[in-house]
Amino acid sequence: MGFILGIPAALGTTWGAIGTGAAITAGVAGTGINAYGAIQSGQAQAAMARANANYISQMARYNAEVARRGAEAARRNAETIKQVGETEAARHRQKSSDLLAQYRANYAALGVEFEGSPLLVMQETAARAEQDALGILYNYQVKAAEQERQAWKMETGAGLTEWEGGRQADLQRYSGEQAATAGWLGGAASLLKGGYEMYRDISWRKSPLTSKVI
C-alpha cells in the first residue's frame, strides 16, 4: 500500500526532472541561437564594410589614374602648342625677311640709297615684323601655360582622389571591425544572459518552496 502511494510522488519527481531538462535544453538552444545570430550579424556587416572599402579603393585608384593620364595628355598638348608657336613665329619672321628683301631689291632697281626715309621705313617694317613674331609666340605660350595649369590641376586632383578614397576605405574598414566586435560582444552578452536565466530557472525549480508545487 505504501508502495502504491509513493508512485505519484515518484512520478511527480520524474516529470519535474523531465520538465527541468526540457527547460534547460530549450534555454541552451535559445541562447545559442541568439548568440549565433548576433555574431553572424556582426560578421555580415563587417564583410559588407570590407567590400565597400575595396570598391572605394578601386574606384579612387581608377579615377586617379584617369586624371593622371589626362595630365600627361595636357602636358603633351602644351609641348605641341609651344612647338607650333615657335614654328608660326619663325614662319612670320621668314615672310617679313622676304618682304624686306623685296623692298631692298625694289629700292636698288630704282637707284634709291638706303638712307633717310627709305632706311627708316625698312627699320620700322623690320621692328613691326619682330613685334608680330613675338606676339605670335606669346599667344601660343599662353595657350601652352593653360594646358600646363590644367595638367597640374589634374595631377593634384589625382592625389587628392587617392587620399580621400583611402580615407573613406579606412573608415569603412573601421566600421566593419566595430560591427564584428559588436557582434562578438552581443553574442557573449546573449550567452551570459541566457546562462544567468537558466541558472535562475534551475535554482527556482530546485528551491524547497517551488519543488512541492512542481
Confidence class for position 18, pLDDT limits 50, 70, 90: very low
**Joined grid coordinates for residue 206:** 530546485
Radius of gyration of the chain measured on its C-alpha atoms: 46
Mean pLDDT value across residues 52-61: 87
Mean pLDDT value across residues 36-61: 79
The answer on pLDDT for 11 being more than 60 is no
d(CA 46, CA 29): 25
d(CA 214, CA 208): 10
The answer on pLDDT for 4 being more than 90 is no
**pLDDT (tens digit, 9 = 90+) per residue, 86-109?**
999 999 999 988 888 888 888 778
In the chain, what are the domain boundaries? 2-211
Residue 213 has a pLDDT of 47
The answer on pLDDT for 76 being more than 60 is yes
d(CA 84, CA 52): 48
Confidence class for position 122, pLDDT limits 50, 70, 90: confident
Three-state SS letters, 58-88 = HHHHHHHHHHHHHHHHHHHHHHHHHHHHHHH
Which of 23-32, 50-59, 205-214 has the highest mean predicted lDDT (pLDDT)? 50-59
**Joined grid coordinates for residue 141:** 605660350
Give Cα 3 to chain centroid, integer Å. 82
- Residues 89 and 133: beta-carbon distance below 8 Å: yes
Q: Where does the chain have alpha helices with state H?
A: 2-110, 117-206, 208-211
Residue 20, CB-side half-sphere exposure with 13 Å CA sphere:
18
The answer on pLDDT for 3 being more than 50 is no
Instruction: Calculate what percentage of the chain has a pLDDT beyond 70.
Output: 65
